Amino acid sequence: MKTVCLIDDDKIVTDSVSSFLAMHEDIKVTGIYHSAEDFLSPNNLATLQYPSILILDVGLPGISGIEAITPIKAKFPDLDIIMLTTYEEEDIILKAIYNGACSYVSKKAGLMAILDAIKIVGNGGSYMSPAIAREIFNHLSPKKNETKFCLPDRQFQILKSLVEGMTYVQIAKDMNISVETVRSHIKRMYKKLHVGNKTEAISKFMKGEIS
């Protein structure tokens, strides 16, 4: 029996997915939530029946699905997380995978895709909707004339911390430097990488363009 929890702020989605999954005897929906905060609340965690799979929407209000992966995995290291989303941008997909999601399903793919993902994940595999798999393939394909950026050790460490989801304050504490020093390093790093924000810098890191 595969036990599943759903987190999606759209009640139509949670109702349709839970009703569909209820038709399958080997799957049991044990919890439905409309925000990550609801799922992670102390009251819920105190009574939660540990699920084997969590279906998590990316575009949640408050804590986003991407941001929620880290604290959820911290409390439930063995929980398999399937991202359910309308977003198919490679940066978001890669961040979800890096944070600990094992599968990524487009809402456009329909209910059968969700069922396929649950079955594959339940057997120890990972699932991606075809359109999303294509995004990842394009991301990993060798690029002609690709530039390799080399960062100083401290800037590389800061970038790696950003990829892991750490805040400036957390990075400063971890590296025993001030927040202003962190900001200064990041500003110089952006200039060296020819990027204008954190998302672009993380994208270059995930593409293996930085050493």
User: What residues form DSSP beta bridges with 55?
Assistant: 6, 82
Domain architecture of the chain: domains with CATH: 2-140 (3.40.50.2300), 153-206 (1.10.10.10)
pLDDT at res. 198: 85
pLDDT at res. 57: 94
pLDDT at res. 146: 56
Q: Would you write out the chain's pLDDT as a tens digit for each of its 211 residues?
A: 899 999 999 999 999 999 999 999 999 999 999 999 999 999 999 988 889 999 999 989 899 999 999 999 999 999 999 999 887 677 788 888 888 899 999 888 889 999 999 999 998 898 887 777 776 766 666 555 456 788 888 999 999 888 888 889 999 999 999 999 999 999 999 988 888 888 888 888 887 788 6
Distance CA 103, CA 158 (A): 28
pLDDT at res. 206: 81
Rounded (10°) angle between helices 153-163 and 179-193: 100
Distance CA 81, CA 72 (A): 9
Looking up tokens 């952006």, which residue turns up? Answer: 190
pLDDT at res. 139: 62
Sheet with 27-33, strands from edge to edge, namely 27-33, 2-7, 53-57, 80-85, 103-106
pLDDT at res. 94: 81
Cα 157 to Cα 160, 167, 173, 182, 211, distances in angstroms? 5, 13, 13, 11, 11
pLDDT at res. 6: 97
Alpha helices by DSSP H, listed for 85-167, are: 90-99, 111-122, 130-140, 153-163
> Side-chain half-sphere of 113: how many Cα atoms within 13 Å?
18
